[in-house]
């Protein structure tokens, strides 16, 4: 996996994020833009609570979510931004 990788400890404190939206949007995790727009599949992130922002400038859409990443698990978020 490329892009953002949080620190991992002895317990492998990383999980994965799956994000999809209608319409497609840029994805920011804790203020850092991810390399791909939605859909984002199996993006590695450190366990814990993160601020996720989805943005589509063409349609003037911007939404902010709090997501909890659990170690070894995939957290999925599917949203309609319209």
pLDDT (tens digit per residue) in 39-76: 999 999 999 999 999 999 999 999 999 999 999 999 99
Nearest to 58 by CA among 31, 30, 33, 81: 81
Sheet holding 40-46, edge to edge: 40-46, 14-22, 74-80
DSSP string, 56-82: ETTTTEEEEEEEEE-TT-EEEEEEE--
What's the whole-model pTM score?
0.82
Question: What was the pLDDT predicted at 12?
Answer: 58
Left, alpha or beta for 72 (phi > 0: left; psi -120 to 50: alpha)?
left
Q: What is the mean pLDDT of the chain?
A: 89
Residue 23: is the preceding peptide bond cis (ω within 30°)?
Answer: yes
């Amino acid at each position: 996996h490329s892009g953002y990788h949080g620190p991992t400890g002895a317990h492998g404190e990383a999980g994965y994020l799956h994000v999809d939206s209608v319409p497609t949007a840029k994805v920011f995790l804790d203020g850092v833009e991810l390399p791909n727009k939605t859909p984002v599949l199996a993006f590695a992130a450190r366990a814990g609570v993160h601020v996720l922002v989805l943005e589509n400038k063409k349609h003037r859409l911007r939404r902010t979510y709090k997501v909890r990443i659990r170690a070894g698990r995939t957290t999925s978020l599917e949203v309609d931004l319209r």
